[in-house]
Amino acid sequence: MSDIRNEDLFEVARQFFPGGVNSPVRAFGSVGGTPRFIQSAAGCRITDAEGSEYIDFVGSWGPMILGHAHPGILEAISQALQDGTSFGAPTERENQLASLIVQMMPGVEMVRLTSSGTEATMSALRLARGITERDLCIKFEGCYHGHADSFLVAAGSGAATHGHPSSPGVPSATADLTCVVPYNDLESVTDFMGEKGDQVAAIIVEPIAGNMGCVLPAAGFLEGLRELCTQHGAMLIFDEVMTGFRVHPGGAQGLLGIDPDLTTLGKIVGGGMPMGVVCGPRSAMEQFSPIGPIYQAGTLSGNPLSVAAGIALLTELNNSSGEIYRDLEAKGQRLEEGWKQALEGHGITHCWNRVGSMFGLFFTEGPVTDFAQAATSDQELFRRFFHGLLREGVAIAPSPFEAGFLSMAHSDADIDQSTVAIEALSL
């Protein structure tokens, strides 16, 4: 056992990093307390600096669909490592990864690799603006598309108006180009498009939302967006950074049978290494530089280690011919039934949303169909739930507005252990 304490590490970290972290949600801001400094992870378990072990339902916020430290992925990275870590030049592995993505995602003919999901969505919006020669974009409240200026925008007053910056530093002139609409509110989008559709470059949406907990698209919502975009000559961007390869081998678009004009990927596609992807039909993608006029670049884009990890993971998902996703659905069902029963045992009002191995738990009556509903969740109860689970050796995301994830490494016994942990809580 080491005698290093999370608290001491956090104190040092706070001297070096704003809030002690390199991405805000890690700081436990909405639940309080000390973040666990992770020493290592394997399968469905993570171990912190104090040697405490947790069943992990965060999965590095999505990528770890096969579990942590998956041997095949480690092997692929370690092989690539022997050849060097970065060349700033094209590699054969990039072709292999692209070929897998094209094979798995419907409607994708070409890809551009980036180093993060943020870069992917930012570049997708630039591409849509460049192609349509329009400036406006529509996004949905509670959807997260990374931290580019155009997406850090909060709703103005009224159902569908121009937004204002949700962070200092975002120019109001930029926020003014983004309209923020409640998720699943097709009527407001229809009204806005009726008024300004000829100025709208793109509608960007998480086809299954995962950044306000897990929220499903209502029947007809995505179909309606598809129709409106076609009708008004705007581009439909599915931000599948979270759902891509998570809910189906072909992402949410494969699961739901809706074709966007552009797709963004991240998280799973990099196998736990930094990676993002903008992809779509050749006609749109060839507008990117160097062949087209729309500029996009990245010194470390297509990094050999990330690409190797991505190939290993996607190959496994692609070769399983659906078995992995059937397994994940069964695990999801088991978790849902167990947790629901345990929560009912405590007499706790809750609402559960789930697609396969991606789930959202809200301490509110529900149904939760948009951000306003998600926000009615009892946050004080969540705080107690979160810390109680942590003490019982179960780690969920340190915020009531995050989706949870299962992996292939979660056995029935692991899932049942997490249920028993909930039963043991005094809430």
Ligand X SMILES: *Cc1c(COP(=O)(O)O)cnc(C)c1O
Catalytic residue annotation: 144, 239, 267
Q: What are phi and psi of 265, to 5 degrees?
A: -125, 165
The smaller minimum CB distance to ligand X, of residues 197 and 310, is found at 310
Q: Does 211 bind ligand X (CB under 6 A)?
A: yes
Minimum separation from the CB atom of position 329 to ligand X (A): 21
Binder among 44, 152, 241, 309 for ligand X (CB under 6 A): 241
Q: Are 214 and 190 in contact (CB under 8 A)?
A: no
Tell me, residue by residue from 250 to 289, as one string, x for binding to ligand X by CB under 6 A and - for no binding. ----------------x---------x-------------
Binding region for ligand X (CB under 6 A) out of 110-118, 302-310, 335-343, 367-375: 110-118
Binder among 203, 242, 252, 425 for ligand X (CB under 6 A): 242
Q: Does 26 bind ligand X (CB under 6 A)?
A: no
In degrees, rounded to 5, the angle at the alpha carbon of residue 90 between the alpha carbons of residues 87 and 96 is: 120
Minimum separation from the CB atom of position 145 to ligand X (A): 5
Beta-carbon contacts of residue 94 (< 8 Å; ≥ 6 apart): 113, 302, 307
Q: SS3 sequence, 274-341?
A: CCEEEEECHHHHCCECCCCCECCCCCCCCCHHHHHHHHHHHHHHHHCCCHHHHHHHHHHHHHHHHHHH
Binding region for ligand X (CB under 6 A) out of 32-40, 116-124, 298-306, 408-416: 116-124
Beta-carbon contacts of residue 423 (< 8 Å; ≥ 6 apart): 342, 345
The smaller minimum CB distance to ligand X, of residues 134 and 139, is found at 139
Q: Are 114 and 123 in contact (CB under 8 A)?
A: yes
Binder among 206, 370, 402, 414 for ligand X (CB under 6 A): 206
The smaller minimum CB distance to ligand X, of residues 263 and 419, is found at 263
Q: Are 398 and 56 in contact (CB under 8 A)?
A: no
Q: Does 123 bind ligand X (CB under 6 A)?
A: no
Binder among 20, 35, 117, 165 for ligand X (CB under 6 A): 117
DSSP-assigned beta bridge partners for residue 352: 361
Binder among 43, 59, 130, 146 for ligand X (CB under 6 A): 146
Distance, in Å, from the CA atom of 178 to the CA atom of 188, rounded to the nearest integer, reads: 14
Q: What are phi and psi of 406, to 5 degrees?
A: -100, 155
DSSP state of 352: E
Minimum separation from the CB atom of position 121 to ligand X (A): 5
* SS3 category, 258: coil
Q: Does 398 bind ligand X (CB under 6 A)?
A: no
Q: Does 134 bind ligand X (CB under 6 A)?
A: no
Q: Which residue is nearest to ligand X (CB)?
A: 117
Give contact residues for ligand X (rule: CB under 6 A).
Answer: 116-118, 121, 144-146, 206, 210-211, 239, 241-242, 266, 276
